Amino acid sequence: MDLVCAICQRKMQGTFNNGKPHYRCRYNAEYAKNAALDHPLTVYVREEAILPELDKWIAKTFAPGQLTATLQAMQQAQSAESPTTTAAAAARRTMAECDRRIVQYRAALVAGTDPKLATEWINQAQSEKASARQDLLTATAIQPEILTEDQIKHMVSGLGSMTDRLLATASEHKRPLYESFGLALTLDMQKRVVIVESQPAHACAYGKCPRGDLNPHAR
């Protein structure tokens, strides 16, 4: 399960702290000292603080009794944005963040930061921007079809049948199941919350959602 930092827009790294799995976002200490960013040097988030609540949310959202509400929400989301909007928007945010970092790195260079270190920062940001630009091109080139009401209903019903399997599966084996729900998690450090978005219609469009018989015992 990937967790993105809302401040730097980077995917947090998986690591172990005190023998337990954590997500970590680390910012270069030398740069933070020069640029005075509002980003902590290192942030750790316990995986066990997120997954149980995430599983509860999934079980509630895709429960049979919530099928109508979830179906309506998915239809509204489809009418409000195209299936490529989320991936394209994420790529654009990354590119904008890279531009901001490059400007600050150059300012740090003028302020007296070691030229070799500043050059490394700039090159890294430029590399990340190039990667994000490619992601943007890929996202805008793919035009998955908008799912019909019957397709969404079948998909939501099938995903609902997978919640029992999700709750019974060990944490280290849940990633494929989470991908089926099209999840995107973002850490808001200031509010100390994790924002969860689920776009299973988009996941299906990109081939991640199990189609046909969604009975978890059949997979």
| pLDDT number for residue 84 | 55
Checking 123-131 for CB contacts under 8 A at 24+ apart, the result is: 125/98, 125/101, 126/98, 126/102, 128/94, 128/98, 129/94, 129/95, 129/98, 129/99, 129/102
| pLDDT number for residue 209 | 46
Q: How high is the mean pLDDT of the chain?
A: 76
Q: How large a percentage of the chain has pLDDT more than 90?
A: 16
pLDDT at 102 over 90: yes
Residue 31 sits in the same domain as residue 99: no
Name the residue with higher pLDDT: 181 or 99. Answer: 99
Name the residue with higher pLDDT: 150 or 116. Answer: 116
| pLDDT number for residue 95 | 92
Name the residue with higher pLDDT: 173 or 147. Answer: 173
| pLDDT number for residue 28 | 64
Range of the domain at 131: 84-143
Residue 165 neighbours by CB under 8 Å, 6+ apart: 177, 216
| pLDDT number for residue 196 | 86
| pLDDT number for residue 179 | 81
Per-residue pLDDT, averaged over 18-44, amounts to 72
DSSP letters of 31-51?
A: HHHHH--SS-SEEEEEGGGTH
Residue 97 sits in the same domain as residue 65: no
| pLDDT number for residue 7 | 77
Residue 24 sits in the same domain as residue 132: no
Full-model pTM:
0.55
Q: How many domains does the chain have?
A: 2
Name the residue with higher pLDDT: 142 or 62. Answer: 62
pLDDT at 145 over 60: no
Residue 59 sits in the same domain as residue 43: yes
pLDDT at 205 over 70: no
Q: Which residues in the chain belong to E strands, given as ranges?
A: 3-5, 13-17, 20-26, 42-46, 183-188, 193-198
Residue 11 sits in the same domain as residue 75: yes
Residue 51 sits in the same domain as residue 157: yes
When pLDDT is cut at 50, 70 and 90, the band that residue 214 belongs to is very low
Last-in-domain residue among 143, 170, 192: 143
Residue 75 sits in the same domain as residue 181: yes
Residue 11 sits in the same domain as residue 74: yes
pLDDT at 79 over 60: no
Name the residue with higher pLDDT: 127 or 145. Answer: 127
| pLDDT number for residue 192 | 87
- Encode pLDDT of 33-67 as tens digits: 544 456 777 889 999 999 888 888 888 877 777 76
Residue 66 sits in the same domain as residue 174: yes
Per-residue pLDDT, averaged over 89-99, amounts to 89
Residue 168 sits in the same domain as residue 92: no
Residue 90 sits in the same domain as residue 155: no
Residue 77 sits in the same domain as residue 148: yes
Last-in-domain residue among 98, 121, 143: 143
